[in-house]
């Protein structure tokens, strides 16, 4: 079976004054359908840069990045927008919810951008929030929710358009240990029960080894030799 995601010699370089920052400097990995990948490395190793490229939020400097065989480097801006809407869901460390919107409205927002009709948006938002254990909290705004509840809303939002790939960037970074365990149990259930493919960025090796099926370690923009990538 072809890889869901494959990168070959992927590079992302930035100019800072007279210097070149090599955020990614030749990353080659393959991710199969249904995997749970823990993406490890210290700050500045290129983890979040890689996720941004996979999400279509940025473009690579060199190399190839294929999702279902389509090279993101060759996509137009409109095609990348469709890729973000249909193929990937993103969960951020800081939740990134709209504070003036209710939980249900936050979940429905990505479906609105994807052109989903209002009745279906409302139905699916309610369904997802129920599945996240937030039944009865649909009308609460983010400031009225705990950190763990906000992250559950963010996961529901990421799943709203039924993406093939869930990208989680330090999803427990702002949570206490008990709430972190609850969120990780939820991600594990999505992977094992629903077959959702997950790539999770973390600096916590113990967390990755406990929950991910496989880990990939980055250092200075490259895959560390010996990583089980």
Give 100-139 as a DSSP string: TS-HHHHHHHHHHHTT--HHHHHHHHHHHHHHTT-TT-TT
Instruction: Supply 3's token pair.
Output: 């890889």
pLDDT more than 90, % of the chain: 82
Per-residue confidence (pLDDT) for residue 1, from 0 to 100: 55
Average pLDDT, the chain: 92
pLDDT tens figures, 15-61: 888 899 999 999 999 999 999 999 999 988 999 999 999 999 999 99
Identify whether the C-beta of residue 125 lies closer than 8 Å to the C-beta of residue 161.
Answer: no
Per-residue confidence (pLDDT) for residue 226, from 0 to 100: 47
The dihedrals phi and psi of 222, each to the nearest 5 degrees, come to: -130, 155
CB neighbour burial string for 16-50, b if at least 16 within 10 angstroms, e if fewer: eeeeeebbbbebebebeeebbbbbbbeeebbbbbb
Instruction: Supply 49's token pair.
Output: 């840069």
Distance of alpha carbon 12 from alpha carbon 173, whole angstroms: 25
Q: What is the mean pLDDT of residues 68-77?
A: 90
pLDDT tens figures, 117-171: 999 999 999 999 999 999 999 999 999 999 999 999 999 999 999 999 999 999 9
Per-residue confidence (pLDDT) for residue 225, from 0 to 100: 60
Per-residue confidence (pLDDT) for residue 93, from 0 to 100: 87
Distance of alpha carbon 104 from alpha carbon 128, whole angstroms: 9
Which residue, 91, 112, 69, is CA-closest to 190? 91
pLDDT tens figures, 167-226: 999 999 889 999 999 999 999 999 999 999 999 999 889 999 999 999 999 999 999 964
Which residue, 185, 189, 183, is CA-closest to 169? 183
Instruction: Supply 59's token pair.
Output: 């473009």
**What count of other Cβ atoms lies within 10 Å of the Cβ of residue 88?**
23
Distance of alpha carbon 14 from alpha carbon 97, whole angstroms: 29
β-bridge mates for residue 30, sequence order: 6
pTM of the model: 0.91
pLDDT at 229 over 70: no
Distance of alpha carbon 144 from alpha carbon 25, whole angstroms: 43
């Amino acid at each position: 079976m072809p890889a869901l995601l494959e990168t070959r010699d992927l590079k992302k370089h930035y100019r800072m004054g007279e210097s070149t920052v090599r955020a990614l400097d030749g990353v080659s990995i393959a991710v199969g359908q249904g995997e749970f990948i823990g993406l490890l490395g210290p700050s500045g190793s290129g983890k979040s840069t890689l996720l941004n490229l996979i999400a279509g939020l940025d473009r690579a400097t060199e190399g190839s990045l294929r999702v279902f065989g389509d090279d993101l480097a060759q996509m137009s801006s409109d095609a990348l927008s469709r890729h973000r809407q249909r193929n990937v869901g993103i969960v951020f460390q800081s939740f990134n919810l709209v504070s003036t919107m209710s939980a249900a409205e936050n979940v429905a927002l990505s479906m609105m951008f994807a052109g989903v009709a209002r009745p279906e948006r409302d139905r699916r938002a309610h369904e997802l929030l129920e599945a996240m254990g937030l039944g009865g909290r649909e009308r609460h705004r983010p400031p009225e929710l705990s950190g763990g509840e906000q992250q559950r809303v963010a996961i529901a939002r990421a799943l709203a358009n039924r993406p093939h790939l869930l990208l989680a960037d330090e999803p427990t970074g702002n949570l206490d240990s008990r709430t972190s365990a609850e969120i990780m149990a939820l991600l594990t259930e999505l992977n094992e029960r629903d077959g959702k493919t997950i790539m999770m960025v973390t600096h916590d090796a113990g967390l990755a080894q406990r929950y991910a099926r496989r880990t990939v370690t980055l250092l200075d923009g490259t895959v560390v030799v010996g990583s089980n990538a």
